Structure 1
């Protein structure tokens, strides 16, 4: 579902670069030359991150001293799309695009990639890798402005929080629970979430619950009351009013629309 490898050497454009999975990212650490596609040739600049569409054939020309070649399945990519619903994020891989990271941003991205390699080797579960990939793409594409000023350790804390939230959002609501999971006091956790997400824990929990409700309404035949129970609402009326307040339409109307 995901493959990450270091690439280096001298390349000629007469040979296409193979990828194990359809969605691909090339992250340049040090190189000179060109990335060649039907749409044109693009300079292999240090700190440049290429987001490559599924249908494009990639050829390189020049010398790569150090770069990362990342490919992954649409299943892993779906978590990124669920977390990033704006047009810029959804169009990230529609045509070839790239972002240029400054030296500090690039250093953080390389650290995240090295850690991702270790996570892949450790055979972490799919949900964790999907969370990691979403964080990496959001950072590398400069889609989450609040992430850019975080240290590598703080970015790892963001990943840890997302993993805990993903596992327990249906059953746990208290700040104390998530603070304990993060090894922080409740006060420190709130301060960290505000810095990393510009939101507090109740807002993040609510957004995750509503996102899950949307998925259940679209992809299952569960009744509204059953969905409320799955998501840990004590009363279906509470869920129904919360959903309508968030989406502007009732859960039933939302289901009919999709």
Structure 2
């Protein structure tokens, strides 16, 4: 089980919240030293000069660089010339299971964007939606912020992302590997709690904090994914697939499958067969 699977799970369960967004030129007095915000920030530099310090790293951002300044990290910034930054910026939070993502993962503080017009467009849309006054405006702005986070990740080498609590990461990797290896069995919370050396009640809270969903919901989703694979790639009957995955009640299996996919197993198989021809 490599860490990329765990990273995928974290990123699939993000809860993003937008606080502020704007586009402006910094003043000559733009300056604050050694403060620790309880929100994260993106700076998208359009033009101008300035200085940032994030943790113990100092930067002189250039146009075309997207800077991530995570919450809980001591920061400083300052104008350094008579040509201060013109930039888009936003304040936001991003959590997994109620935990600040940046307490779990450490990302590079900036990336160079290959297609700056796309980031310009995303930021402009965040700003327009956030200030639109429409009932759906904030929801749309949050969706575009999620897109911005995705775009940031797309421009990184994933090897640059590091895990901040390796004992927890190794434990979660072992748990997810066990689930993958035993997905055709009846996996219980007690089984997983034993692997983690935790009481089952504490384990449920721990798993949800790390993955963003309770362990039984996660296992069910994995069983449905396996069922989709078997429906697509094997001639096994639906009854055989249900039994293989530990479902003795075919009606319950079909209902659960439809809840997750919007289709019954029969409908799913017909659709995938039609797409393959």
Which is bigger in relative contact order (C-alpha 8 A, separation at least 6)?
Answer: 2
Give the TM-score taking structure 2 as reference length: 0.42
Which structure has the larger Rg over C-alpha atoms?
2
TM-score when scaled to structure 1?
A: 0.45
